């Protein structure tokens, strides 16, 4: 029998573009959560840890970051680690694993060829990525093992192609043929590349193909991320028993709101109360709001940014309806402000382009806010 931890896509050194200051939090957390993976391996006394590619975001990661990972590896020296390079940490002259420091880690094996690796009665069949645009099924090198003793595990990094026939392999990003298990007779295919955890069953219902997903979610919109997999296989041909273990720390949420009236604001308020425990929040708005409700929305969102580690607000698709009161006098308490207000409303009435209308409406709002502040 064999028991191991399957993990992938640590993407260490990731920039976290679009996260602003929270990019640093996300980067730091990814490294800390690696400890959760290695601790799971230690706690469950696994035979080894299988790392299926994209450990680093790219091959130029600073040596300081490399040393941080190696020192965590050293804390857990009792767990052998088998590491397959992916497309971000791809094999080649500039490959990060060519650095001498990795050769010093005695319990780390870089799977840099397709040669099988034997670990007691288990055989690993690595499929390292060595070209950006492979033109064939990456698992094609796994030999047929139907009649070969031992537990056989394929290790690859790429995208499983569904049951659709592929006419042109060159169009597919890192293709992996789903029929690999059937063709070769391996017991389990451990995959990396997708950030969401997924399993695929063979025709007997056994989950023989799996993505562990990333150990720590990398961005908004990823589902089922933040886990590693504890895999147990009793013997050749036995169905793998897979148990996800949570390793991620940051909680993410992403939601779109269609705005219309005061009820939309109430709905938003209720939602915001429900996500108090979430670290990373993305809120996108569409629809239309009258000017006075837009002000309430702005105040609500400004406060919300103080309640989470990161809040991304998208207002580009939200239209604001400004009241037309050109015929009635508006008194902002100052002749210049009043004149500017009339001028902006005239501009707005003559403007047809939606984007320009939005800019003018925003200007009217700011003017009103400014007038109120002066008053106060
Ligand atoms: Mn990848």
Q: Domain-by-domain residue ranges, the chain?
A: 2-246, 252-375
Question: What's the 319 CA to ligand 1 centre distance in angstroms?
Answer: 38
Instruction: Give the C-alpha separation, 24 to 51, whole Å.
Output: 24
Question: What's the 191 CA to ligand 1 centre distance in angstroms?
Answer: 10
Please report the sign of the dihedral spanned by the C-alpha atoms of residue 306, residue 307, residue 311, residue 315: negative
pLDDT at residue 355, rounded to an integer: 82
Do the Cβ atoms of 308 and 277 come closer than 8 Å? no
What does each C-alpha distance from 43 to 34, 109, 148, 245 come to in angstroms? 14, 21, 32, 12
Question: What's the 30 CA to ligand 1 centre distance in angstroms?
Answer: 16
Do the Cβ atoms of 126 and 23 come closer than 8 Å? no
pLDDT at residue 139, rounded to an integer: 95
Question: What's the 139 CA to ligand 1 centre distance in angstroms?
Answer: 15
What pTM value is reported for the model? 0.85
pLDDT at residue 110, rounded to an integer: 98
Question: What's the 58 CA to ligand 1 centre distance in angstroms?
Answer: 10
pLDDT at residue 169, rounded to an integer: 54
Architecture of domain 2-246: 4-Layer Sandwich (3.60)
Return the ∠ at Cα 161 (arms to 155 and 162), rounded to 5°.
125
Mean pLDDT by 10 residues, the chain (376 residues): 98 86 89 98 98 96 97 96 96 96 97 97 95 86 97 96 58 84 97 94 94 95 94 97 98 96 96 96 94 90 95 91 63 88 88 85 83 77
Question: What's the 231 CA to ligand 1 centre distance in angstroms?
Answer: 21
Question: What's the 194 CA to ligand 1 centre distance in angstroms?
Answer: 7
pLDDT at residue 161, rounded to an integer: 83
Instruction: Give the C-alpha separation, 23 to 29, whole Å.
Output: 10
- Burial class of residue 252, CB neighbours in 10 A (0-12, 13-18, 19+): buried
Do the Cβ atoms of 161 and 176 come closer than 8 Å? yes
Return the ∠ at Cα 53 (arms to 236 and 244), rounded to 5°.
60
């Amino acid at each position: 029998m064999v028991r191991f931890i399957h993990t992938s896509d640590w993407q260490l050194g990731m920039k976290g573009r679009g996260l602003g200051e929270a990019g640093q939090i996300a980067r730091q957390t990814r490294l800390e959560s690696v400890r959760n993976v290695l601790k799971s391996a230690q706690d469950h006394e696994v035979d080894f840890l299988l790392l299926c590619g994209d450990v680093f975001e790219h091959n130029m990661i600073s040596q300081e970051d490399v040393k941080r990972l190696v020192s965590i590896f050293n804390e857990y020296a009792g767990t052998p680690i088998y590491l397959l390079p992916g497309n971000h940490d791809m094999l080649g002259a500039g490959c990060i694993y060519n650095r001498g420091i990795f050769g010093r880690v005695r319990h780390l094996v870089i799977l840099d060829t397709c040669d099988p690796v034997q670990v007691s009665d288990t055989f690993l069949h690595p499929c390292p990525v060595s070209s950006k645009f492979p033109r064939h099924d990456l698992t094609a090198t796994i030999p047929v093992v139907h009649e070969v003793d031992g537990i056989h595990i394929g290790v690859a990094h790429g995208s499983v192609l569904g049951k659709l026939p592929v006419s042109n392999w060159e169009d597919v990003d890192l293709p992996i043929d789903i029929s690999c298990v059937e063709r070769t007779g391996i017991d389990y295919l451990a995959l990396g590349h997708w950030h969401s955890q997924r399993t695929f069953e063979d025709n007997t219902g056994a989950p023989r193909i799996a993505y562990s997903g990333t150990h720590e979610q990398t961005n908004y919109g990823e589902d089922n991320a933040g886990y590693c997999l504890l895999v147990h296989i009793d013997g050749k041909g036995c169905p793998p028993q897979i148990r996800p273990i949570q390793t991620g720390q940051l909680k993410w949420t992403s939601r779109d709101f269609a705005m219309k009236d005061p009820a939309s604001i109430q709905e938003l308020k209720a939602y915001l109360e429900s996500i108090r425990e979430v670290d990373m929040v993305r809120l996108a708005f569409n629809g239309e709001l009258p000017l006075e409700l837009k002000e309430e929305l702005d105040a609500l969102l400004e406060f919300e940014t103080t309640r989470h580690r990161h809040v991304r607000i998208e207002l580009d698709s939200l239209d604001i309806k400004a009241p037309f009161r050109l015929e009635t006098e508006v008194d902002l308490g100052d002749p210049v402000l009043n004149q500017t207000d009339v001028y902006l409303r005239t501009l707005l009435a003559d403007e047809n382009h939606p984007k320009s209308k939005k800019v003018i409406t925003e200007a009217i709002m700011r003017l009103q806010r400014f007038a109120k502040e002066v008053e106060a």
